Structure 1
């Protein structure tokens, strides 16, 4: 037993009465179980039971009781600060730890009217940063029409939750203050780009190679723009300099290049935009039955020139998804003769561009073999005549430029 323990025992032994007023006693750095044993043996003189988990408690206690203090109330308050309670039952004190009740966290509602971004975007970005709930409310419905907090993602409630025009957050005051500081940095103007494109149909022969190779040769020869090995690929060439109009004028003056379309699209970051020139052609759809009678449905499918783009704007690059389709319908000779056949050429790719870059994109080719007669026109038809085959190719070439919209 340590010296401080002996001092406490001797001090209590020489005291006249443990409950008499005018007694001063002090404990200094004694393990909790031993301090409780000494208190109940020499101060309270009362039977007690200690919880097993307290018997191995290694915390050291120190306190001093003066004559003007109620000893029992003092010890009860002291142990309460350590999350230990005294439960008197039938003359016995039961001493056991307890888990303090967590006071309810006060929550408040905060409404925010987005300036530039949608409620869906803001809630998706912020949801993982805060412990409260993000909801949406339509102004015409009023604040009371807030979607339920336990809405399941993808459910109808979640759709209502994200389709309003007012962001509603329910959380603590500290979270609301942090949210107010963060929202102006997130609710910013969405960047936009202008996508300018020309779609050419290129007539080439086997000697000329692909339409992309022919275009690259024209550019390097007449515009004196070099094509590095890192910029050219099988169906993709990028130019970091030059004017889109200059490229267009170069190809327009060449009879092998025919302009099919020249779309201009303005699209915001992450959104999809499409350009379509053509027609919707009725084709046979599914067959359903009503009263055991077959009903043939008719579906309309688009054909013509369809260009779809989706930019993702970064600080230094623009990631662009491109979907280009040229299609037409032809009469079906086999199979379902009553429904036309869709003939299409399509390219779907993703490229990374700097602001203002120009790209040439190929890969949509159609080969044709033409047969021609050779001979002398002044001789009879079968004299010294023959035939020759010539391979011709039709390439679809996309020339495209992406520029950020200045603000």
Structure 2
């Protein structure tokens, strides 16, 4: 869209040194065009525009019937300040920079905003007049998407240095309670901004937050359960065996795919299962990390697979290759709750590749057995998670070769294998 700049009516008052009234009329002009007309055209002053100001997609529309030329510099500075642009004069040159504290940096995210409009003005506003700006309870200006934000004159700034927590964690909690402008991360420091009373409350909150983060020990082991009878579930077989072997009692969760065990330990459960030939330990993983921190363990490799194929502009065959991890992958996210409870997000998988038999060259087949869930367990308790079954059948015939096949004896067997994930989580005591 072509930008229309209305006629600028002015009297060359600066040439005669006399304050004469001038009229201004702009329609949807950019910041740079406005500065060119005002600073160079009318005020005869050089100006420099910072790159971040040039990149602003803002339009100015004004209609001033009469303004004294002596008041023109102040009027321009106030107008730009309303757009979040700071003007500084050094050696007779105006420097236009973006006011980080007052500007709304996410202006481009505001849909449908085409221009910033200043209503018609009959005379210059008084320098003693005050702008009424919406503010939150702590004195931080709130301008949702259409203008600027200013810092109150009575706002104070305080620095807080966390000792046991990250500055990002402390700033996030403070901002949730006092507003997004109340706390800012500056390296290892947290910059608190607000009234004196608000900062006192923020500091009290920061000190209460700055405690030692809890460490969580998460243990996970895949157990392959072999059931020759082909009946029942592997998780039930494992739970019954552990109850008889260790005297472990069932916890609060008892279902077909999840069973919690009380009065036992993870190491004892694994040792007991390894003592029986029906149970084979496939993997054993242990991860230690902070509360509410994602923990991941990968044991395996990455295999090149074809994600897509096609032809380029020259007609040559092109294949897109991606490297897919396989092996044992354990992802957990522990959350320590009250009353000795732990919420645990679990994403565990065992995967491998085998040669593809469907004719797709160079892309093996991924054999994946995965379990993804969120469970709750008591601190130190053990939980069995199952449901990954595999049934294998075999059939054999016996008889004399010179006799008809109908005279031979047929025998078959079924073998069921289940993958059971044994998990436990406990809070480490310092």
SS in 1 for 2:158: strand
Deviations 1:238-265 (A, max 9, x none): 0121132222222112112111111111
CA contact (8 A) 2:223 2:421 kept: yes
Cα separation, 1, equivalents of 2:285 and 2:132: 67
SS at match of 1:245: helix
Residue in 2 aligned with 1:124? 172
Q: Following the alignment from structure 1 to structure 2, what is the Cα–Cα distance between the partners of residues 215 and 128? A: 46
Question: Counterpart of 1:116 in 2: which secondary structure?
Answer: coil
Matches within 5 A, 1:19-34: none
Per-residue Cα deviation, 1:3-54 (whole angstroms, up to 9, x for no partner): xxxxxxxxxxxxxxxxxxxxxxxxxxxxxxxxxxxxxxxxxxxxxxxxxxxx
Distance in 2 of aligned mates of 1:297 and 1:378: 54
DSSP 3-state at the match of 2:333: strand
1:251 aligns with 2:273: yes
TM-superposed CA distance for 1:118, in Å, is 2.2
CA contact (8 A) 1:331 1:337 kept: no
The 2-side partners of 1:381 and 1:250 are apart by 50
Q: How does 1:252-291 map to 2 (within 5 A)?
A: 252-287=274-309
State the partner residue of 1:239. 261
Q: Which residue of 1 aligns with 2:211?
A: 188
Shift of 1:126: 1.2
1:327 to 351, 356, 372: 351
Is the contact made by 2:156 and 2:196 (CA closer than 8 Å) also made in structure 1?
yes
Q: Deviations over 1:59-106 (max 9, x none)?
A: xxxxxxxxxxxxxxxxxxxxxxxxxxxxxxxxxxxxxxx999999541
Q: 1:5-404 counterparts in 2 under 5 A? A: 105-131=153-179, 132-138=181-187, 165-227=188-250, 230-287=252-309, 292=314, 293-316=316-339, 317-334=341-358, 336-374=360-398, 384-404=407-427
**Contact 1:235–1:363 under 8 Å retained in 2:** yes
d(CA) in 2 for partners of 1:361, 1:343: 20
Aligned 8 A contact 1:105 1:172 in 2: no
Paired residue secondary structure (2:369): strand
Deviation at 1:390, TM superposition (A): 2.0
Q: What is the DSSP-based 3-state SS (H/G/I as helix, E as strand, rest coil) of the residue aligned with 2:218?
A: strand
Q: Which residue of 2 aligns with 1:61?
A: none
* Structure-2 separation of matches of 1:167 and 1:335: 59
2:265·2:380 contact (CA, 8 Å) conserved in 1? no
1:215 Cα deviation after fit: 0.5
Tell me how far apart the structure 2 counterparts of residues 379 and 256 of structure 1 sit (CA, whole Å): 40
Separation (CA, whole Å) in 1 of partners of 2:222 and 2:154: 61
> Deviations 1:299-348 (Å, cap 9, x if unpaired)?
11111111111101112210001111011111111152320011101111
Change (3 A) 1:222 1:374: farther
Provide the TM-score with structure 2 as the length reference.
Answer: 0.60
Q: Distance in 2 between matches of 1:345 and 1:101?
A: 62
* Contact kept? 2:230, 2:416, Cα under 8 Å: no
> Aligned Cα RMSD in Å?
2.9
Structure 2 residue matching 1:114: 3-state secondary structure: coil
Which digits, 9 at most, give the CA deviation of each residue in 1:341-373, with x for residues without a partner? 111011111111111101111111111111123
CA pair 341-384 structure 1, distance change in 2 beyond 3 A: same
Structure-2 separation of matches of 1:306 and 1:246? 23
Q: SS at the partner of 1:185? A: helix
Q: Provide Cα deviations, 1:266-294, integer angstroms capped at 9, x if missing partner.
A: 02111111122211111113447765455
Over 3 Å counting, the alpha-carbon distance change for 1:379 and 1:264 in structure 2 is farther
For residue 261 of structure 1, give the secondary structure of its aligned residue in structure 2.
coil
Match of residue 76 from structure 1 = none
Shift of 1:394: 1.6
How far apart are residue 200 of structure 1 and its match?
1.1
Q: Distance in 2 between matches of 1:118 and 1:306?
A: 28
Q: Which runs of 5+ in 1 are unaligned?
A: 1-97, 139-164
* Residue matched to 1:86: none
Give the total of aligned pairs.
282
Answer yes or no: is the 8 Å Cα contact 2:221–2:423 preserved in 1: yes
Structure 2 vs 1, CA of residues 100 and 136 (structure 1 numbering), >3 Å: closer, same or farther?
closer
Per-residue deviation, 1:223: 2.2
Distance 1:100 1:126, change over 3 A: closer
- TM-score (norm: length of structure 1): 0.63
